[in-house]
Chain A
Amino acid sequence: MDLANKVAAMAKRTLPVSGVFDELIRGIGESKSKSEEDAIVGKLIELSKQKIREGRREPRSQKELLVYLIYIEMLGHDTAWAQATAIQLCSDKNLAVKKLAYLTVSLLLDPASELSIMVVATIQADLRSDNFLTVCTALSAICHIASPELVSVFLPQVTALLRHDRDLVKKRALLAMQRFIQVDPGVAPDLERHLIDKIGYKEPSVMIASLCGLRELIRRDPAPYRNLVHYFTNILKQAAEGKLGRAYEYHRAPAPFVQLELLRLLGLLGAGDRASSENMYAVLAEVKRRAEPLGNNIGNALVYECIKTLTTIHPSPVLVAGAAESVSRFLGARENNLKYAGIDALTRLVLIDPKHAQDHQLAVVDCLRSPDVTLKRKTLQLLYKMAGPSNIEVIAAEVLVFLREGGDEVARGDAARSLCDLAERYAPDHRWFVDTMNELFEAAGEVVPASLADNLTRLIAEGTGEEDEGADRELRAGAVEAYLELLDRPKLPHVLLKVICWVVGEYGCLSALSTDSVMDKLAAIPETQASDDEVRGWAVSALGKLAAQSGRALTSDASALVSSAAAAESVQLQQRALEVQALLGMSAATQRAALPYDAAAEDVGVDADLPFLDSFVQQALQNGAAPHLSLDDRTAMGMTRDDGGGLGPLPHASALKFQAYATAPAPQPRPAMPPPAPAAAAAAGGMDGPSDLDVGGLSLSQPAGGAAAPAPAIAAMPAAQNSAPAAALPSAGGPQLILNKPGRKWGGPAVAAEPSPRSGGASSSVSSPAQPYATSGSASHSAAASPSPAAAPPPAVDAAKQRLAASLFGGGGSTSTAPGLRGRRSPAKPAGASKPAVAAPDLLGGMDVSAEAGAAAPAGAAAPPTASDMDLLMGLGASVPSTATASNTAAPLLDPMAALAGLGGMQQQQRQQQQQQQPGLVALADLMGNGAAVAAGPNMQQQAGAGLGFGDFLADTAPRQQPSQQQQPAAPLMGGPSKAPPAAKKDPFADLLG
């Protein structure tokens, strides 16, 4: 198509444009690269600034300016300089300019911006205008800029406008009210009556606007609005019968979008309320019956929404059976969109009755194997709902396959969390759980929540919770072997490396290998793996534990690692290494007392006040040391600073930071030292803490000395105290100190180093495994089932579809009776009773639900609502009761998910935690970077001839479902213009719209 002709043809139907405007917009359209585009935006900015300076009054010039601004913002450039001008133009006399100015302001301004206040007076004046178009314009502007503070400003005028003669104004006023509820739910009680008043309004667009407003109210709390079900079913019935008029018809479906909205509202109202639900059954069946034969996209959308609704409300067996038939049709379709809807609908049906999954085994496996990520992800969600003890192994294998394929970080995070959740609930035995978690760490270590590592190590440390030492030992030995083997593989994720370090450090002596070879393996981690200082710290601690428990000296590799760590820049790592060195210099009895074997799950009693040091502190104070100030005190006194001190990449750097010290000449050792440990306050309050320095020297400068217990105790003291800086200890007087080299800032991360993992050592009784576990290790759990220590056989991933389907859906249900780990670990929880250790695969509480559903059946089928008043709608307005009464007739909440969620409080808490750990925004490549990447994509070639998009959009968009195109399922949406028959191009909708 000739570009020039096209542009010329267009000029006549767009607003009158100047040559410059024409050229610039076309330039944007034709720019091929980000830099080209930026150049044009630069021109736009220059031109806009010039226009603002000139302050020309012609509407055309003003409109051009505003359009430029929209472009500048849309293409990602700053527009702060023009916001005041745009606001000013809102009060222009020309309505078109005014409308455009409001639009520009809504796009340019953040509603939180204080500038939006400047539009308020203009809007208020416009709301009083005699011209209804001006009023509508102002009302639309309210929808865009409303913020909680502004609601009360506009509310009286907007409410008054509901009595305007024009329907258009009424509609816009209702939408403004909806916006008010969205930004400030507190106004709902004032608006409720107005919205309900308009449900029965004769003009559909006003009625729809009131439905939108009510949706905001109902989704927040459906109970008070259950008495509206009657009206909604009536409107829905009329909409489905085409009574809203031909103009609302879309692809032969009468007012489908109104039907969708009403179905959604009914779903919200019927959820958990049997009486309301029963009043909906008849109309739901009717809507679905009418939508089925349409056979096009919109018909399917209606059927899909019906299924969503009838699976949300109290179920009717007849309707559910009908829904199952539709699901079969969806899943059998060739289009992936329908399969997607089918899988989603099936997921909902399975919650009502797990048997539905049985009918579609092969279709589900097909979707699971689909190269379409969206479909695959949806199918995995179905599997999560279907999971039980009988199929957990197969499902876990599928999830792991998905995780290994890579892809979207959010999707992988969801999958990893779901897998953790299911594995903890249904794991056949501990060994399987440990193995699965290891695989999970390997496949998706970067998206696994950190709490999972805690769970895993806790499980290994606590064992089965029975007094079966043999089984525990076997589990731990198995884990150690598995981990030592894993270490031979490269590129393990850090979270897994930490788990490995901890487990091997704690239970390395169970390995078949000699302690020395285990130490060497650990010592090799920094070389074989991409480890950071944190991982090295864990490795150092693990080596310390191994050496202390076995009573052997560190191997040469290991001691090399510890020595290098002792000179590390990371103060946390340095401290760990120095502690290990110090401890290993003590007598064997001290070592064993400090780091006993298998005591990770013991409770550690720490008196945070450390009373045994009182006399010591007293003495120091008498010697002139400054008293200790807590972190809060110091923050309040402004002794901390926020920017990083630059002490290496410590991930746990906290807020405790100090100004850099000027370097001092070396001959004066004391002032050149960094401020000493407990005397953090001394840094500000006149540094003078000789006794403190001595303490540091005492503990670490003579590690080989005979002072047995006190040394580690003191070393651990600052860490345990948490607010007292720990870093100075290793540095003070220590020859390894490299922190005070010239120009080096001595900053916060050092001081704020995380409490040492051996902080529990202060009590000299037990070793706590590592910081997260020390507190969580309550050893109280009674168990019921005996564990099966044998490793689970690897699931057959590559088996034929049938076998996979069988294992997913049917197989093994009768043999597996083992409840999940959680069930075993907390059998006393009441929820455990509601989820008996069933032998059938329907673990989802489905038994209860289907029983309920059965009871509900006759009632539902026999009691259709009295629908005879379907034509009464038009006169309903005034008679609608304004105060809603809850007609909740105590139908039991049937949501099986709730039953599931009730399985254990612990689990729920954990879910919440996991949800909080949603990854934040992902950083991204720039726009044209994509463009370039995209250009290589397969789609491009197809479209290569289409130029910059001058083809008619609709040329190839003749609706997918038109019978004439049924034969080429892949073609309709994306095909080139040539594919569409010319006839369809001319009037694609003529036959549809009549």
Chain B
Amino acid sequence: MIEFVLLVNKQGQTRVAKYTDSSLTTDERRALEAEIVRKCLTRVDKQCNIVEHRRYKVVYRRYASLFFLMGIDAEENELGTLEMIHCMVETLDKWFSNVCELDIMFSLDTTHHILDEMIANGCIVETNKGAALTPVQLLERAG
């Protein structure tokens, strides 16, 4: 299970937050995000991209100023999750062409939509980039 997907910049500011488990309150989420980012920031390149935090294994990957993080449970494959993050970034990149933090900020709704197409109910449901972007494109045209 993927418990959450977070995009947080290196200042610790949340850019996108999606939780599968919706039992956390807004305050708890903010607290969790701050804790995790702090942990990830203290790590150096050579260390592994996995941090255990509370009951989650947090897999993170840094792209320029932005951290992409996924909180997973014991069942999930850490290395696979790491690649899923990259697959997600590739898909965003395909949509925005050369994606950057501001792209995500200005098109927050589209970013959410793309992530929703790829990950639903805590599962990876689409990794075909074309198929993931088709509904987004259709919606864009309809809107």
What is the interface of chain A, defined by CB distance below 8 A to chain B? 6-7, 10-11, 13-15, 17, 22, 25-26, 28-29, 31-32, 37, 59, 63, 66-67, 70-71, 73-76, 78, 94-97, 99-100, 103, 110-111, 131, 133, 136-137, 140, 143-144, 168, 171, 175, 178-179, 182, 204-205, 208-209, 212, 215, 219, 245, 247-248, 250-251, 255-258, 260-261, 264, 297-298, 300-302, 304-305, 308, 335-341, 344, 371-372, 374-375, 377, 408, 410-411, 921-928, 930-931, 933-935, 937-940, 943, 946-957, 959, 970-971, 973-975, 977, 989, 993
Contact = CB atoms under 8 A, between A and B. Distances in A.
A568 B138 CA distance: 74
A925 B79 CA distance: 31
Sorted nearest first, the 4 A-B pairs with minimum C-beta distance are: A96-B143, A949-B65, A301-B79, A953-B63
A410 B38 contact: no
8 contacts: A14-B107, A15-B109, A103-B116, A178-B121, A248-B127, A340-B78, A372-B48, A951-B64
Interface in B50-64: 50-55, 61-64
Interface in B1-55: 9-17, 22, 25-31, 33-35, 37-39, 41-55
Contacts of B128: 204-205, 245, 247-248
Contacts of B103: 10, 13-14
B120 to A, nearest CB: 5
Contacts of B89: 953-954, 957
A943 B65 contact: yes
Contact of A337 (B28, B30, B49): B49
A583 B110 CA distance: 77
Q: Which of A219, A374, A949, A977 has the most CB of B within 10 A?
A: A949
A727 to B, nearest CB: 38
A309 to B, nearest CB: 10
A931 B12 contact: yes
Given A182-B122, A298-B80, A948-B65, 5 more contacts: A96-B139, A298-B79, A410-B55, A946-B64, A957-B63
Contacts of B113: 99, 103
B88 to A, nearest CB: 11
Contact of A374 (B22, B38, B47, B61): B47
B83 A374 contact: no
Given A301-B77, A304-B77, A922 B35 contact: yes
Contacts of B129: 247, 993
A377 B82 CA distance: 19
A178 B125 CA distance: 11
A19 to B, nearest CB: 13
A955 B99 CA distance: 10
Nearest to A942: B45
Contacts of B55: 410
Contacts of A171: 125
Contacts of A22: 106
Nearest to A108: B26
Nearest to A177: B121
A713 B121 CA distance: 63
Given A6-B102, A260-B77, A71 B46 contact: no
B80 A301 contact: yes
B48 A103 contact: no
Instruction: Assign chain B's interface to a size class.
Output: 35 or more
Nearest to B96: A13
Nearest to B20: A182
Interface string B73-92: 00101111011101101100
A139 B117 CA distance: 12
A341 B49 CA distance: 11
A75 B30 CA distance: 8
B83 A954 contact: no
B82 A337 contact: yes
Nearest to A30: B102
A255 B129 CA distance: 12
A341 B78 CA distance: 8
Contacts of A251: 83
A371 B109 CA distance: 40
Contact of B26 (A73, A943, A950, A977): A73
Contact of A76 (B26, B77, B134, B142): B26
A429 B83 CA distance: 48
Contacts of A372: 43, 46-48
A143 B121 contact: yes
Nearest to A70: B108
Contact of A934 (B11, B51, B80): B11
B123 A215 contact: yes
B83 A949 contact: no
Contact of A952 (B43, B54, B100): B100
Contact of B109 (A103, A344, A946): A103
A956 B22 contact: no
B41 A25 contact: no
Contacts of A934: 10-12, 37-38, 41
Contacts of A950: 100-102
Contact of B142 (A96, A344, A947, A951): A96
B90 A973 contact: no
Contacts of B80: 256-257, 260, 298, 301-302, 304-305
Contact of A298 (B50, B83, B116): B83
A136 B135 contact: yes
A133 B99 CA distance: 26
Nearest to B18: A107
Nearest to A261: B124
Contacts of B112: 70, 103
Contacts of A956: 63-64
Given A103-B113, A208-B126, A949-B64, A928 B105 contact: no
B35 A924 contact: yes
Contacts of B86: 297, 957, 959
B72 interface: no
Contacts of B66: 949, 953
A178 B124 CA distance: 13
A374 B53 CA distance: 10
Contacts of A208: 125-126
A95 B116 contact: no
A925 B39 CA distance: 13
B121 A943 contact: no
A56 B52 CA distance: 47
B90 A989 contact: yes
A74 B65 contact: no
A212 B125 CA distance: 8
Contacts of B125: 171, 175, 205, 208-209, 212
A133 B65 contact: no
Contact of A74 (B11, B17, B106, B124): B17
A256 B77 CA distance: 12
Given A29-B105, A247-B129, A110 B65 contact: no
A74 B14 contact: yes
Q: Which of A78, A182, A924 has the most CB of B within 10 A?
A: A924
Given A212-B121, A949-B100, A927 B30 contact: yes
Given A15-B107, A67-B108, A922-B35, A939 B10 contact: yes
Contacts of A67: 108-109
A383 to B, nearest CB: 16
Q: Which of A31, A337, A410, A950 has the most CB of B within 10 A?
A: A337
A375 B109 contact: no
A25 B64 contact: no
A70 B110 CA distance: 12
B118 to A, nearest CB: 10
Contacts of B14: 74-75
Given A67-B109, A76-B27, A928 B47 contact: no
Nearest to B44: A938
B64 A375 contact: no
A921 B142 contact: no
Contacts of B90: 954, 989
A408 B40 CA distance: 13
A939 B63 CA distance: 13
Contacts of A951: 64-65, 100
